[in-house]
Amino acid sequence: MSFHSKNIPNELKIFPQWVCYRTTKLESKTAKYMISPVTGKFAKSNDPHTWTDYNTAFHYMIAKRLEGLAFVLTEGIVFVDIDHVTDENGTMSLFAQKILEELPKTYAERSVSGNGIHIFCKGRLPKNALKRNDKLGLEMYDTKRFVCITGDIIDHRKEILECEDLIQSVHERYIGKRIPYVQPKTIESVLTDNEIVSKIRESKQGQKFEMLYSGNISGYPSHSNADYAFVKILAFWTQDKSQIDSIVRSSGLYREKWDRKIGNSTYGEITIENALMNQHTIYNRHYEME
């Protein structure tokens, strides 16, 4: 499979999350090994120090005569992988065609083997989502995963589009059961909204917070990505859902989509719950007072 650099979407190129790969033939399959252009050793999907920007990875691939590039999935982008999609005559399976129809227009490419399909969407998977259905040859990921990129696009689908609602629907229909979800506890804040905002502005997160608070989403692949990044900042400082919601509504990021219904929740409620569930460190007011 040849590599089509010009077709790689800018929505991926902007992230410094690229590595190279080489392949080795095994008895029954071809193994791929991720190589860091930074260290020259094996790359790790959980170690950003082994990743680099697209141009550096591309030139390293050429210089070292490696087979291709791989992208490390980032929050806000969902990767859909469908295996064994063509028969001996090259005809695409009905299931693969159906998934392409259910996720229309967004970036899609053939896999390295030529017998799989990759689809990329802006969005997030359901909370604590299962990742695969082996019977269907379907996998869906949104973080800490290497994806070998080819740029061998399907049906002129060159741009990664926002399709979070569609992703949630496809996941529920074809993968379905989720790991039991524990509702994040809401802890009533002892600080006011203004006190929280003031503390964040004075912190190391201040510049990033101020940019997002003003509604500036430059540097993010979508408005939804910016929403999540903003709420993640807030989730460190307060675990009070109503307070997070209030601060979002006072910011330049707030829009009608925040109140859009998704199942029994809203887009805003789901964003807050995801952020709280994935926030492993929090602000300790008592430690600061000592």
Judgement on whether residues 136 and 279 belong to the same structural domain of the protein: no
Cβ neighbours around 261 below 10 Å, total: 9
Q: State residue 59 phi and psi, 5-degree precision.
A: -70, -30
Please state whether the predicted TM-score (pTM) of the whole model is above 0.75: no
Same domain, yes or no: 275 and 131:
no
The angle subtended at Cα 136 by Cα 111 and Cα 127, nearest 5°, is 90
Say yes or no: 139 and 253 in one domain: no
Nearest CA among 281, 249, 202, 240 for reference residue 230: 249
Mean pLDDT check: name the lowest of 33-37, 59-63, 192-196, 264-268.
264-268
The per-residue pLDDT of the chain, averaged, comes to 87
Say if residue 23 is in the same domain as residue 146: yes
Question: Within this chain, do residues 254 and 222 fall inside the same structural domain, yes or no?
Answer: yes
Residues 120 and 12 in one domain: yes
Is 167 found in the same domain as 66?
Answer: yes
Residue 184 covered by a domain: no
Residues 169 and 204 in one domain: no
Tokens representing residue 282 in the block: 């929090």
Residue 116: give the domain boundaries: 5-174
For residues 79 and 149, membership in a common domain is answered with yes
What does the alpha-carbon distance between residue 61 and residue 212 come to, in Å, rounded to a whole number?
Answer: 36
Same domain, 285 and 206: yes
Question: Do 42 and 167 share a domain, yes or no?
Answer: yes
Last residue of a domain, one of 112, 147, 174: 174
Number of domains observed in the structure of the chain: 2
Q: What is the mean pLDDT of residues 105-119?
A: 94
- Stretch among 105-109, 113-117, 148-152, 279-283 having the lowest mean pLDDT: 279-283
Find out whether 236 and 283 touch, Cβ atoms under 8 Å.
yes
- Kindly state the average pLDDT of the residues 281-289: 59
Distance CA 153, CA 8 (A): 9
Q: Are residues 78 and 46 in the same domain?
A: yes
**Residue at 13 is within a domain:** yes
Cα 68 from Cα 5, distance rounded (Å): 10
Alpha-carbon distance of 52 to 30, in angstroms, equals: 25
Residues of the chain with pLDDT > 90, as a percent, come to 58
